[in-house]
Structure 1
Amino acid sequence: MRRTVLEQFPAGGPRGSRPAEEFAAARRGEGVAAEVVMDLERDAFLVVVPHQPTDRGRRSAGP
């Protein structure tokens, strides 16, 4: 599954601070299916959404 990274946050934030979770929650409040994943190689939290294929060339199923 491909994902698009919306934002990244360093893993070494202040204790009790969860900026990635707060950012993802705000996006979910806007209707975006955002989730937080850990990138071990970068030592960072990533806020990602599922990759949405483009609908170019498709017709809408209207009346």
Structure 2
Amino acid sequence: MTSRRVLEKFPAGGPHGSWPAEEFAEEQRRAGVKATVVMDLASDAFLVVTPQRDGRE
């Protein structure tokens, strides 16, 4: 089973033209981490997540 681990959380109401979650995810990808940005509607935030298999990295 595949789950996700949250690496970082960013509020959705950032300044116009600012994409901190995407920038953080890109830094992680450059470091070899399979990071993706998803929207958490319940908390109105962008989450940077990475896949995690069977509860382990």
Tell me if both proteins adopt one fold, taking TM over 0.5 as the criterion: yes
Shift of 1:15: 0.5
For structure 2, the 5+ residue unaligned runs are none
Structure number, greater radius of gyration: 1
Q: Does 1:5 pair with 2:28?
A: no
The equivalent of 2:39 in structure 1 is: 38
Unaligned runs of 5+ in 1: 55-63
User: What is the CA distance between 1:8 and its match in structure 2?
Assistant: 0.3
TM-score w.r.t. structure 2 length? 0.89
Distance across 1 between alignment mates of 2:31 and 2:7: 14
Answering whether residue 42 of structure 2 is matched by residue 48 of structure 1, we say no
Calculate the aligned-residue CA RMSD, in Å.
1.0
Aligned residues: 54
Specify which structure has the bigger relative contact order, considering alpha-carbon pairs within 8 angstroms and separated by 6 or more residues. Answer: 2
Would you identify which runs of 4 or more consecutive aligned residues in structure 1 move more than 4 Å?
A: none
Task: Determine the structure 1 residue equivalent to 2:25.
Answer: 24
**How far apart are the structure 2 equivalents of 1:52 and 1:30?**
19
Which protein has the bigger strand share? 2
